[in-house]
Amino acid sequence: MDPAAHRRSWRGLAAPVGVAVTGAVAATVLHFRDPHDAGSYGICPVYALTGWWCPACGGLRAVNDLTNLDFAGAASSNILIIPFVAMVAVIWVRWVYHRWQGSPDSPIGLRPTATFAVLGLLVAFTVVRNTQWGSWLAPA
């Protein structure tokens, strides 16, 4: 790799590094300022307006639990957070790899069917966690 191409590959990593630093700062804040304390981060606007747990409800508590390596606690707060964090990590690694190779393209390439499948999963999760028989999915 010539020196100019090497500099371009390092410059291409600015956005992924910025996203990683932002995520690390957010995780650090969630680690030290416990969202398990009622009202520590306010209230969920969806829950406040509708009384329904949204797909993200319990997400801050789940990330706090993950920073403490409490996977069971994270799953009881929001079971979707663990696969979501894993998916974000994989996408971020792909993004870094593509940027290092000099490709400016986006690392996320969801087809419409995948997008509808993810949206369908979120809707189904929301409905199920707000029913009596799916109450075990409600944030703990």
For the chain, the structural domain boundaries read 3-137
Nearest 10 degrees: CA dihedral of 90, 72, 132, 60?
-60
Is 24's pLDDT higher than 90?
Answer: yes
Query: What distance in Å separates the CA atoms of residue 90 and residue 84, rounded to the nearest whole number?
Result: 10
What integer best gives the mean pLDDT of the chain?
88
How does pLDDT run across 70-86, given as a tens digit for each residue?
999 999 999 999 999 99
Return the pLDDT at 63: 96
Query: What distance in Å separates the CA atoms of residue 129 and residue 90, rounded to the nearest whole number?
Result: 27
Return the pLDDT at 100: 85
Q: How confident is the model at residue 39 (pLDDT cuts 50, 70, 90)?
A: confident
Is 37's pLDDT higher than 90?
Answer: no
Return the pLDDT at 128: 95
